[in-house]
């Protein structure tokens, strides 16, 4: 019996169930991944026992010498991975990384210009239900409703009219390349700070598969747990001139003690992301996404913007007469986990939606390639075409289980 099974059999049983769900199913949620055993080990390590408020060499607690070493490694590795001058690796999440940047340079009521949540942006980019839209005056751009891509000319016009203090670029559900240099130029023209939130595409930016914003934008924020394949968390990159206000905004501005077990795991993730294997992995993520998109398009599924350049595709289900919610549930019954998502020109609520977002980071981490993606695309198309057919869902679930068993989550975990 494990320590957990002895102390808390209820939680042990729940974790067991979730382990089985992950082992036997296909995770196509674009913001999720499967971390390495090394990342998992560091995340569950005794580094969790320690308070380390402050920064390396300047802590508010004794006994931090090894925590200093871990945090310095994480900072140095992420700076070298992205070619940045300064990094703060303490934000507990992507939202908190964004919050710290706003705290560093904005005052309540200042203007933010960012992408609309319903067209691909993120809550922490000024949504009215989030702190970012409550504390600051938020203005939002969307995609061009014909091309479903960002229209840099119209964003530049909005920026001139609004005169925001910050322009945020980066998205949660945008399948195309983002021109960070164009955003930096637009920001410079209106005297705004430019924040690139690369939470989704960090792994692709680190490997040069997607152009990196570092060197163009004033700040770069990210999560570590999506394409970067690290523990759940966030970080901020900036030039040295902003190091002090950013560090002050994270601690003591916004957080107390850093999660040192997670910072240690971030350091492992940054090391892994700097390897040739990770470049190959990231290339495969994008190849897999393209194959999935092509397979679905061949079954008359409309892809928002006509395709994908990155790790995700956005499907418009309108032609199939089902909602994103119904498709999410039907695919869930078939062992394929996806999320409903709003699409440009959305007519339904965010709880229902007309779209689905599918992504390839997690299945690629399990070793799946083009032929598996084709098969998965066929299954998705079959389920959404006949979404009430529960016996079809059950039979696909068995096939999904058999495919998943050939690509174990962790080889030693059964
Ligand atoms: N920024 C973007 C673009 C995201 O997609 C997300 C999460 O999905 C976040 C920030 C926030 O990350 P977290 O959930 O860690 O707060």
Quote ipTM for the complex.
0.98
pLDDT above 90: residue 134: yes
Ligand 1 pocket list (CB less than 6 A):
31, 93-95, 122, 124, 170-172, 197, 199-200, 223, 234
Q: Is 123 annotated as a binding residue?
A: yes
Give tens-digit pLDDT for 144-195: 999 999 999 999 999 999 999 999 999 999 999 999 999 999 999 999 999 9
Verify whether residue 51 is a known catalytic residue: yes
Biggest CA–CA distance in the chain, Å, is 65
Measured in Å, residue 190 CA sits from the centre of ligand 1 at: 26
Mean pLDDT across the chain, nearest whole number?
Answer: 97
Q: Which helix (H) or strand (E) holds 327?
A: helix 324-333
Give tens-digit pLDDT for 303-312: 999 999 999 9
Which among 33, 122, 230 is the best mutation to test ligand 1's pocket, defined by most ligand atoms within 8 Å of the CB? 122
> Does the predicted TM-score (pTM) go above 0.90?
yes
Measured in Å, residue 402 CA sits from the centre of ligand 1 at: 32
Q: Which helix (H) or strand (E) holds 396?
A: helix 390-406
- Cα separation of 225 and 216, whole Å? 24
Which among 89, 92, 95, 213 is the best mutation to test ligand 1's pocket, defined by most ligand atoms within 8 Å of the CB? 95
Cβ-contact 61, 53 below 8 angstroms: yes
- Cα separation of 249 and 243, whole Å? 10
Verify whether residue 197 is a known catalytic residue: yes
In percent, how much of the chain has pLDDT > 90? 98
Verify whether residue 287 is a known catalytic residue: no
Q: What is the pLDDT of residue 413?
A: 81
Q: Is 350 annotated as a binding residue?
A: yes
For 227-243, letters b (16+ CB in 10 Å) and e give: bbbbbbbbbbbbeeebe
- Cα separation of 110 and 162, whole Å? 11
Measured in Å, residue 94 CA sits from the centre of ligand 1 at: 5
Verify whether residue 316 is a known catalytic residue: no
Q: What is the pLDDT of residue 412?
A: 83
Q: Is 228 annotated as a binding residue?
A: no
Catalytic residue among 27, 71, 148, 197: 197
Q: What is the pLDDT of residue 128?
A: 94
Mean pLDDT of 345-361: 96
Q: What is the pLDDT of residue 118?
A: 87
Verify whether residue 32 is a known catalytic residue: no
What separation in angstroms does the CA of 315 have from each of 32, 83, 124, 143, 388?
Answer: 18, 35, 24, 16, 19
Q: What is the pLDDT of residue 411?
A: 84
Give tens-digit pLDDT for 91-104: 999 999 999 999 99
**If you compute the radius of gyration of the chain from its CA atoms, what whole number of angstroms results?**
21
Cβ-contact 123, 117 below 8 angstroms: yes
Q: What is the pLDDT of residue 207?
A: 98
Confidence band, pLDDT 50/70/90 cuts, at residue 259: very high
Instruction: Give burial (CB, 10 Å; 0-12/13-18/19+) of 283.
Output: middle
Verify whether residue 401 is a known catalytic residue: no
């Amino acid at each position: 019996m494990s320590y957990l099974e002895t102390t808390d059999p209820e939680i042990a049983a729940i974790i067991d169930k979730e382990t089985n769900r992950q082992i036997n199913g296909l995770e196509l949620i674009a913001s999720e991944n499967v971390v390495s055993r090394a990342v998992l080990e560091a995340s569950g390590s005794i580094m969790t026992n320690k308070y380390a408020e402050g920064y390396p060499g300047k802590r508010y607690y004794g006994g931090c010498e090894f925590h200093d070493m871990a945090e310095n490694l994480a900072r140095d590795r992420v700076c070298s991975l992205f070619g940045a001058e300064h990094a703060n690796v303490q934000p507990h999440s992507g939202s908190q990384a964004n919050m710290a940047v706003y705290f560093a340079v904005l005052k309540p009521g200042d203007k933010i210009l960012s992408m609309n949540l319903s067209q691909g942006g993120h809550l922490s980019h000024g949504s009215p239900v989030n702190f970012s839209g409550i504390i600051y005056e938020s203005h939002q751009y969307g995609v061009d409703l014909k091309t479903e891509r960002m229209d840099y000319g119209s964003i530049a016009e909005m920026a001139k009219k609004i005169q925001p203090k910050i322009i945020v670029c980066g998205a949660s559900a945008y399948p195309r390349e983002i021109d960070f240099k164009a955003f930096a130029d637009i920001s410079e023209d209106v005297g705004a700070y430019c924040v690139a939130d690369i939470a989704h595409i960090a792994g692709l930016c680190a490997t040069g598969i997607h152009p990196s914003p570092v060197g163009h934008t004033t700040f770069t924020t990210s999560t570590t747990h999506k394409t970067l394949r690290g523990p759940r968390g966030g970080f901020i990159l900036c030039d040295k001139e902003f190091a002090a206000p950013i560090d002050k905004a994270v601690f003591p501005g916004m957080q107390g003690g850093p999660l040192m077990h997670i910072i240690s795991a971030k350091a492992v993730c940054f090391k892994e992301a700097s390897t040739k294997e990770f470049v190959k992995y990231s290339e495969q993520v994008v190849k897999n996404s393209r194959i999935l998109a092509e397979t679905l398009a061949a079954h008359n599924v409309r892809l928002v913007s006509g395709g994908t350049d990155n790790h995700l595709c956005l499907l418009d289900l309108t032609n199939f007469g089902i909602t994103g919610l119904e498709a999410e549930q039907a695919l869930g019954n078939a062992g394929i986990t996806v999320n409903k998502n709003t699409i440009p020109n959305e007519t339904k609520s965010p709880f229902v939606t007309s779209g689905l977002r599918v992504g390839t980071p997690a299945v690629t981490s399990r070793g799946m390639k083009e032929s598996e993606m084709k098969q998965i695309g066929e299954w998705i198309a079959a389920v959404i075409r006949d979404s009430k057919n529960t016996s079809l869902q059950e039979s696909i679930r068995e096939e999904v289980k058999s495919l998943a068993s050939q690509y174990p989550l962790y080889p030693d975990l059964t």
